[in-house]
Structure 1
């Protein structure tokens, strides 16, 4: 048998619903009401919130924040928006809610690289003998699915800003492009990790 390099190809999207999202909170988070409240209130109250936060700050609190970690932080944002963001990163999400959001963000037809790479058929057959490895790869594929769908959402925002007036929204567009860059890096890194994890379970004839 000729040696075949390990490739990840786009064949199907069968793993989208297999990943268990979140791990910090057992309760499932539905952001529908929070988003509705945010959109109805706009950014009103944000300045008041910021002033209150500044007035209530203390030297001890600032020192405690510095000692927490070395992660740089920017200016505070709308309290409601921050609340939605923090919940999104700390609570368990229902599979149905995640699926609905993913379905609402279609990949632009000319963004053909924003995909979840799939294992080719020959290697997939090899993985059938390794149930654990197959399940692990499916989970990683689902993470990549979340990355690519998030990218599509950001790309959509950037495109709308460009159509409105690119010069007026230069800073916002640059932020979107930074997000796209980092998401792309995350997806590529995940593909490399999947490839490395697959190597040990393949016969030498399939090794790169």
Structure 2
């Protein structure tokens, strides 16, 4: 576990508030895509590209390794997108220092480049935080996997604050669900015993033989089955085809 309590100079209260909020919330798919499409690789910086696995090695990797590498490639792509405005800003500042006036000619453009750099780096950071969650997710029981949902904000801790209370809430929901699952109401076809109830273990809480599921957490989370190709790589758990590797 990495722990670094050293701090640097404080920012203005207004800017610090914005940054702290952005680190907790994952940007929407459209917002992230638009921001990344705004900045392309700099023309004369050929090495600013995500390195791909050699074609001789890629087929030898297991599907799980290919899937993990593919997700990391997406995160590296966002970092590269952040480097483009950062390098452009640096180039403008160097030119200003070399000029006779030593003044930045286009302050508005420099400010926009700096803002986009920060936004893209925050996007890359939050994307990696959520990828860490989904790498841990398969190790858990199904009922605890909702802790990996995007709605659960990342704070100082990967799974948010007060995680013990969240776990207790899940456990309470499981206990209630088990109690409800022990009973079913079945009517006799002859009408003789209609209205009588019968205890039935493992069948769910039923009426007229139709199962009904219960439990706020254990059944409320559907694992991203329909978004395998999203921009931020939300199709976690899916194995990408061999052709998906960035070339």
- TM range, normalised to the smaller chain? 0.3 to 0.5
Q: TM-score, normalised by structure 1?
A: 0.43
Structure whose alpha-carbon radius of gyration is higher? 2
Return the structure number with greater relative CO, CA threshold 8 A, min gap 6: 1
